Amino acid sequence: MYPTPLASPGLSFAVHSFLASPHARNTCGHNGLPLTPNSVRILGRFQALKKLTHPCLATYLDLQRGKHERVVIVCESYERNCQKLLSSDKSPTAEINSFAHFDGSPPDYPEVVRRIFYESLHALAYLHRQNFVHHSVSLESIQLTDALHVKLSNHGTYFITENGACVPFPIGLPKYLPPEVLLDPKGLHSPKTDLWSLGIVLLELALRKELFNFELEEQIALVFECASSEKPVMCILERHKLVYEYLCLSEQVRDAIEACLSVPLEHRPSSEELLSHPYCDMQIEMLEEPPKGLPSHELIGADQIEECIENSSQLPEAWEVLNLHELYYFWRLTGGDALAEISKQRDYIRSRPAIFGLPNLTLIEGEDCGAERDSSYYYRDTYLRLPMDSLRERLKSVDPDIMFISISILFERFNFERHRSESFTTKTASELPLVIRERDIEYQIRRIFRFRKLVELYPLTGRAIQLEAAIDIPPYFRGHVWAALLGAQGDYHAEFDEIDKDTPTPMDRQIDVDIPRCHQYDQLLCSPVAHMKFRRLLKAWVSSHPQYVYWQGLDSLCAPFLSLHFNNEALAYQCLSRFVDKYLHKFFLQDNSQVIKEYLAVFSRLVTYHDPVLSLHLQKEDFIPDLYAIPWFLTMYTHVFALHKVYHLWDALLLRGEAFPLCVGVAILTQLREQLLTFGFNECILTFTDMPELDIERLVKDAVDIFDSTPQSICFRSHSKRPISGMTPLSLETLREELTPRISTDDFFIALSAPSSKDASGRTTLRERVLVLDVRPKEEYLEGCLRGAVNIPKDVAFTPEGKLASCPEASALAAHKGNIIVVFGNEEDRRKVANQLVHLDYRHVCILDTTVHDIRIRMSPPICLY
Amino acid sequence: MSNRAQGGPGNGATAGKICQFKLVLLGESAVGKSSLVLRFVKGQFHEYQESTIGAAFLTQTVCLDDTTVKFEIWDTAGQERYHSLAPMYYRGAQAAIVVYDLTNPDTFSRAKTWVKELQRQASPNIVIALAGNKADLASKRAVETAEAQAYADENQLLFMETSAKTATNVNDIFLAIAKKLPKNDAANQQGQRLNVAQSAESNQSGGCCK
């Protein structure tokens, strides 16, 4: 059994750090924009390393940027490595025996070497299959776990630095590099580079001696000597006077070494070929096991569920289930900060006073001459181990019950009510502000345990995810949860692969100029890798939606999904596509004017419904939504808020229907209400040119309240994806003339029936009291009316000044102010009365969307007369 | 709806020597319209200025001899698709800056189309300026100064090559416009804000809401 990460005392997180090459000042790229800092380029490429999962590869966890292009990489690290194995004073047997967790009886030294070689080669083959070249294989890079298994490290440096182009130092130690690489140090090298390096490592391990212990020039000279030799290995051995020792090795190992140390590339085997070498004929149980847990970037498909349930039926050890990425996440929540740790180590970052770095001459183009090269630009492969104690302590003190809670979901997955009540244990915590909850380790551990199970079992757990997400969504799983809420499933990889993302289209220029302007404050999204992914996603969307076109703003919509699914474009695409389909139906039509105008008109009416005073003020100032709200709705607020705010807003949005964005708009206006009421047109529009700082948590809460207190049909749009049936589609003129929204008969009767009721989606909402205002002439009213209706005929309703005429019915109406008032009558009359009520500051006025004829069947003679 | 469309407060007349003008920026996307405005209004420059969706509104006041000129600036979206929004902004504008990117000849052609449209559809006395932006990228120039100048002369446009990044000619082009705008002819300065209701109805179909 593969040991649990924290049970292994040798494991910790470690950082290593280097400086990326700085750009000369004021240089810019072909598009006139400043060159992307190399550390940002590196950050973008780094993300792909997180996807690598091989039991013999050390996991890359995080990359942070420090000052002056410093790059700090956090990865899994072990205390021991092959170099320490060789330099140890102990006998080989004693050394091997000191690996406490060795499974089975410790074999002899040559067998250990064979295993190390095999595991390293296995890991290299995995890398090569995915087009990574390690380029830094060395004794030191082969770390050893407590069970004496290999953890190959440093395998990402060559890749993230764009084959060394982004850094001022060469990648890899010269003594391990093959001649062809030393001849052409910068450039893209073959994966077979690693085979040469592994050959040297094997030679050193087999002879139990570190080679090339001399000056750098001599090392390089020796490698070149090899290049011209018939048998390179002999060259090296003769130089070290180790020919006899070498000949004492087994024939198999010698053959493997010699295969690796072939100078011509065509004679050197690939990693795959070498795996079938007789020396590699062995079985390592660990390598056959499937990787544990859910890969951090993937949302599982239905076919893997069976297996998952099977695996989950046995109770795992408490911390075994956490993968390293989760552990690292918790490490950060306990206050871990890799950048701070590294700056504490003064001798790790030896900084020289800047004055010594001044150049003698600076050219007008910005190039410096004569500055002495700072030695901190050289590569140092020292790893600094990060303190793990507080994490261990913290995890120990966590109530083990939360494990069982999460397992219990399995058995209760069809009993959501019970499951829901259970989550009241976390109720107190969930009343804390969201930003605090997101940083509280105890709370996040609970949430992550709960969600990881739910996410693993998706789509079976779709409903349970919705219920849990309504409490909050742990940031660690936000990407997965969003995808689940949007209903992503099926083989989205195949779907995405089939889409043409490359053929040039007339839209490309627009996409290319928009991407470098989209959420570029975000370190990750401004990297070239992100730009490339952006481009592919946008082009994929455009080419697979021929009925739609690219409108500026689609780029902003793409940003949150790209940022959350950076390593899974297919899933990001799937989410984008489903999101647009659900919330922005028809918005990206070539001619979307009708759709958007209707949306904005419905928005205006919703504002009037909730806040007639503000609405009338804005209308009086000609401050119409067309001038400020298009970017709100077209981009679902991604163009007006920074990503961290969008996350919280969309957490709420994705749980709700199409009408929610309208409610967010109302909430924004109400949050700024006091100012807006005193503002004229110019101040109003200036307010929204740069969206003011808004309290996003309050905004979300207000929007949810507004959404819950608004009957669905109030936000009816004829262009929505599934228009509410039975509602009359209204022309734009009518939408503008009629200030108040309309309510469907269904919603009306629901609202009428009980103060608290469930609507179609099962949502329980507290409804206000409803008053029906019948504006037909008295005679018609007496013939039959809706239950409880108050009759104020339109002709006598208002005084010439526009005030309510005084009558008992009017007093009843006035007493009802603030609650829902449903105006019922003939087309013209009801509009006039409803509009006038708005001018009298009545909130929640709506018009019953039906004709007298259609609803006659539900009418009865009035019961009481005022 | 637009009960203030005609002769709003503070417009026109020389009384108090305060004039208010509506100015609109037009041009292909990513030529630097928003950057020019931002430089003029706030003295700032962002390399990664985000794209404008719909339009943005800013105001800035400049002093010209004894007159205070207040610009109400509408910075429009550049993408061709948002074209149908444009009339809402340029109708009733007293001045327009048509911007192109001097490193990209296509944006210059687009600027010419805008000029034509303004000459045809905007108010007849509109002052039009042509701005060749990104002058700091001289090494990547693709539109010659002489060519643009000739075009501007032919069409009686103000013309300057500007750089929002280095602030070259940014204030100057706004000042030049301010100088050219009539300050005493009240009839020319309706100070019309936005005539949305009317423009929405009278416009040809297509595109985002008009």
Answer yes or no: do A34 and B47 touch at CB < 8 A.
Answer: yes
- Site from B81, B82, B102 to mutate, A interface, most A CB atoms within 10 angstroms: B81
Under the banding of pLDDT at 50, 70 and 90, the label for residue A150 is: very high
What is the C-alpha to C-alpha distance for residues A292 and A107, in angstroms, rounded to an integer? 27
Which residues sit opposite A34 in a β-bridge?
A: A28
Which tokens go with A525? 């999204």
For residue A266, with 0-12 CB atoms within 10 Å meaning exposed, 13-18 middle and 19 or more buried, which class applies?
exposed
Residues A575 and A618 placed together within one structural domain of the fold: no
pTM confidence score = 0.89
Task: Return the residue of A nearest to B79 by Cα.
Answer: A552
Under the banding of pLDDT at 50, 70 and 90, the label for residue A429 is: low
Under the banding of pLDDT at 50, 70 and 90, the label for residue B192 is: very low
Burial of A272-285, coded b for 16+ CB within 10 Å and e otherwise, reads: eebeebebeeeeee
Give the CATH number, domain containing residue A125: 1.10.510.10
* Percent share of chain B, pLDDT over 70: 80
pLDDT at A489: 85
Closest CA to A137 of A147, A148, A149, A127: A127
Give me the sign of the Cα torsion angle A846, A851, A854, A859.
Answer: positive
pLDDT at A404: 55
Q: In what helix (H) or strand (E) does residue A225 lie, and over which residues does it extend?
A: helix A216-227
Residues A220 and A272 placed together within one structural domain of the fold: yes
Residues A788 and A833 placed together within one structural domain of the fold: yes
Please say which residue of A258, A287, A316 terminates a domain: A287
**Rounded average pLDDT over A510-530:** 94
Please say which residue of A559, A583, A607 terminates a domain: A583
pLDDT at A5 over 80: no
Residue A216 lies in a domain: yes
pLDDT at A433 over 80: yes
Give the CATH number, domain containing residue A706: 1.10.472.80
Q: Which residue has the tokens 């709420």?
A: A652
Structural domain that includes position A227:
79-287
Residue A397 lies in a domain: no
Give the CATH number, domain containing residue A514: 1.10.8
3-state secondary structure A448-515: HHHHHHHHHCCCCCHHHHHHHHHHCCCHHHHHHHHHHHCCCCCCHHHHHHHCCCCCCCCCHHHHHHHH
Identify the three-state secondary structure at position A407. Answer: helix
Give me the sign of the Cα torsion angle B41, B44, B47, B49.
Answer: negative
User: Of A223-227, A311-315, A517-521, which range is least confident?
Assistant: A311-315
Residues A535 and A647 placed together within one structural domain of the fold: no
pLDDT at A846 over 90: yes
Residues A664, A637 contacting (CB under 8 angstroms):
yes
Q: Which of residues 151-180 of B touch A (CB under 8 A)?
A: none
Residue A647 lies in a domain: yes
User: Of A334-348, A416-430, A713-727, which range is least confident?
Assistant: A416-430
Under the banding of pLDDT at 50, 70 and 90, the label for residue A23 is: confident
The strand pair at A70-78 and A60-65 is best described as antiparallel
Answer yes or no: do A591 and B207 touch at CB < 8 A.
Answer: yes
Chain B CB within 8 Å of residue A52 CB: no
Closest CA to B125 of B187, B184, B71: B187
Residues A780 and A809 placed together within one structural domain of the fold: yes
pLDDT at B15 over 80: no
Which residues sit opposite A770 in a β-bridge?
A: A820
Under the banding of pLDDT at 50, 70 and 90, the label for residue A553 is: very high
φ and ψ of A823, to 5 deg: -90, 130
Residues A105 and A88 placed together within one structural domain of the fold: yes
pLDDT at B12 over 60: no
Residues A602, A595 contacting (CB under 8 angstroms):
no
What would the pLDDT profile of B79-109 be if each residue is shown by its tens digit? 988 888 899 899 989 999 999 999 999 999 9
Residue A195 lies in a domain: yes
pLDDT at B16: 61
Residue A696 lies in a domain: yes
Rounded mean pLDDT of chain B?
Answer: 83
Residue A448 lies in a domain: no
Q: Which residue has the tokens 């058995």?
A: A411
The minimal CB distance from A32 to the residues B77, B82, B137 is found for: B137
CA distance A598 to chain B (A): 9
Residues A197, A176 contacting (CB under 8 angstroms):
yes
Q: Which of residues 562-591 of A touch B (CB under 8 A)?
A: 590-591
Task: Return the residue of B nearest to A737 by Cα.
Answer: B1
Residues A632, A606 contacting (CB under 8 angstroms):
no
Residues A383, A72 contacting (CB under 8 angstroms):
no
Task: Return the residue of A nearest to B49 by Cα.
Answer: A517
ω into A459 cis (within 30 of 0): yes
Chain A CB within 8 Å of residue B45 CB: no
Residue A642 lies in a domain: yes
What would the pLDDT profile of A40-77 be if each residue is shown by its tens digit? 999 999 999 999 989 999 999 999 998 888 999 999 98
pLDDT at A100: 63
Give the CATH number, domain containing residue A809: 3.40.250.10
CA distance B61 to chain A (A): 13
pLDDT at A423 over 80: no
User: Of A476-490, A502-516, A806-820, B147-161, which range is least confident?
Assistant: A806-820
Closest CA to A540 of A515, A504, A573: A573
Please say which residue of A535, A559, A583 terminates a domain: A583
Answer yes or no: do A593 and B207 touch at CB < 8 A.
Answer: yes
**Rounded average pLDDT over A781-798:** 89
What would the pLDDT profile of B134-158 be if each residue is shown by its tens digit? 999 988 999 999 999 999 999 999 9
What would the pLDDT profile of A656-690 be if each residue is shown by its tens digit? 999 999 999 999 999 999 999 999 999 999 999 88
pLDDT at A541: 97
Residues A710 and A747 placed together within one structural domain of the fold: no
What is the C-alpha to C-alpha distance for residues B159 and B97, in angstroms, rounded to an integer? 9
What would the pLDDT profile of B20-45 be if each residue is shown by its tens digit? 999 999 999 999 999 999 999 999 99
Q: Which residues neighbour B210 within 8 Å (Cβ) at sequence distance 6 or greater?
A: A593, B84, B85, B87, B88, B199, B200, B203
Residues A498 and A620 placed together within one structural domain of the fold: no
Task: Return left, alpha or beta for B43; rule: phi > 0 is left, psi -120 to 50 is alpha, else beta.
Answer: left
pLDDT at A854 over 80: yes
Which tokens go with A154? 């440093």
Q: Which of residues 72-131 of B touch A (CB under 8 A)?
A: 72, 77-79, 81-82, 84, 88, 103, 106
Task: Return the residue of B nearest to A642 by Cα.
Answer: B50
Residues A757 and A850 placed together within one structural domain of the fold: yes
Residues A124 and A264 placed together within one structural domain of the fold: yes
Answer yes or no: do B50 and A517 touch at CB < 8 A.
Answer: yes
User: Of A110-119, A291-300, A520-529, which range is least confident?
Assistant: A291-300
Q: Which residues neighbour B13 within 8 Å (Cβ) at sequence distance 6 or greater?
A: B184, B186
**Rounded average pLDDT over A405-419:** 48
What is the C-alpha to C-alpha distance for residues A486 and A507, in angstroms, rounded to an integer? 27
User: Of A25-29, A280-284, B46-50, B63-67, which range is least confident?
Assistant: A25-29
The minimal CB distance from A686 to the residues B57, B103, B137 is found for: B57
Residues A669 and A806 placed together within one structural domain of the fold: no
pLDDT at A121: 97
pLDDT at B209: 40
Answer yes or no: do B79 and A551 touch at CB < 8 A.
Answer: yes
Domains held by chain A: number: 4
User: Of A143-152, A289-298, A373-382, A509-518, which range is least confident?
Assistant: A289-298
CA distance A339 to chain B (A): 27
Which residues sit opposite B98 in a β-bridge?
A: B26, B130
- Site from A512, A515, A517, A588 to mutate, B interface, most B CB atoms within 10 angstroms: A517
Q: Which of residues 18-37 of B touch A (CB under 8 A)?
A: 29-30
pLDDT at A420: 46
Rounded mean pLDDT of chain A?
Answer: 86
Q: Which residues of chain B lie closer than 8 angstroms to A627, CB-CB?
A: 54-55, 57, 194, 196
Task: Return the residue of B nearest to A549 by Cα.
Answer: B81
Residues A653 and A562 placed together within one structural domain of the fold: no
Residue A396 lies in a domain: no
Angle at A22 between CA A16 and CA A26, to 5 degrees: 155
